[in-house]
């Protein structure tokens, strides 16, 4: 039976709103993550630091902060890393740094999760960066089955939000945060804040007006 475009859109709306429809959640197979925060000064060849690495025996679902790190800098700046059935997230920040002979501040983090998508899934990515950063990379990369990849956000791009619909399968997703700020003439480092967030959800909840005709028809295949 043929279906008109108007009828398909009406049915798509009720399909997404139906209480009987249950979108299957994402399963996280494994996770890898590291965070490293450093402040260097002329006074010492060894930087003050806070370091953390996800233990191989840890569960793939986790939520940690700078309090879980090791080093003499874990109570100065702050960071947060999470991977669970709702999505992936990295938050990083440091305050204004006014220390004698400071030369730079650096935040270096990576979160990689391998996930199984049981159904078509909408990935929504957002990014926020604030600070006088000399070098930065706040990126999200999706590695597809078969070896291809999609960069949802990348170094140098001006986008703050983007979306991607994926077919069922196993994907490896990486969130990367790198921020380096050199001290200014007065040996100060300005405050910095970075945030990467990736969530997954049911694509049928996307407003129909924002869907292409091919996406609407795909709901009925």
Q: Residue 61 is part of which domain span?
A: 24-201
**Domains of the chain: total:** 1
185 domain residue, yes or no:
yes
Quick: pLDDT tens for 174-188: 999 999 999 887 778
Those residues whose C-beta lies under 8 Å from the C-beta of residue 155, and which sit 6 or more positions away, are: 136, 137, 138, 139
164 domain residue, yes or no:
yes
How far are the Cα atoms of 84, 130, 139, 141, 142 from residue 153, in angstroms, in the given order? Answer: 20, 16, 5, 7, 10
12 domain residue, yes or no:
no
Using DSSP, state whether 103 is helix, strand or coil: strand
Phi-psi category of residue 71: left, alpha or beta, with phi > 0 → left and psi -120 to 50 → alpha: left
207 domain residue, yes or no:
no
pTM of the model: 0.80
118 domain residue, yes or no:
yes
216 domain residue, yes or no:
no
38 domain residue, yes or no:
yes
Structure tokens at 4: 């008109």
127 domain residue, yes or no:
yes
Residue 14 has pLDDT above 80, yes or no: no
Quick: pLDDT tens for 64-81: 999 999 999 999 989 999
| Average confidence (pLDDT) over 142-160 | 88
For the chain, how big is the Rg over CA atoms in Å?
21
């Amino acid at each position: 039976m043929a279906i008109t475009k108007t009828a398909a859109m009406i049915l798509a709306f009720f399909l997404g709103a139906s209480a009987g429809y249950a979108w299957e959640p994402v399963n996280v197979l494994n996770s890898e993550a590291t965070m490293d925060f450093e402040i260097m000064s002329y006074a010492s060849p060894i930087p003050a630091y806070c370091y953390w690495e996800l233990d191989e025996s840890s569960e793939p679902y986790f939520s940690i902060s700078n309090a879980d790190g090791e080093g003499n800098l874990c109570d100065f700046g702050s960071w947060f890393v999470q991977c669970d059935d709702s999505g992936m997230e990295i938050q990083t920040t440091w305050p204004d740094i006014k220390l004698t002979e400071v030369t730079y501040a650096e935040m270096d983090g990576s979160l990689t999760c391998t996930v199984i998508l049981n159904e078509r899934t909408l990935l929504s990515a957002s990014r926020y960066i604030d600070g006088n950063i000399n070098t930065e990379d706040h990126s999200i990369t999706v590695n597809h089955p078969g070896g291809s990849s999609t960069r949802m956000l990348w170094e140098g791009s001006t986008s703050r939000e983007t979306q991607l619909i994926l077919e069922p399968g196993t994907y490896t997703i990486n969130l990367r945060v790198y921020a380096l700020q050199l001290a200014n003439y007065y040996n100060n480092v300005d405050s910095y804040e970075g945030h990467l967030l990736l969530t997954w959800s049911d694509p049928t909840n996307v407003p129909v007006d924002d869907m292409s005709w091919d996406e609407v028809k795909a709901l009925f295949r």
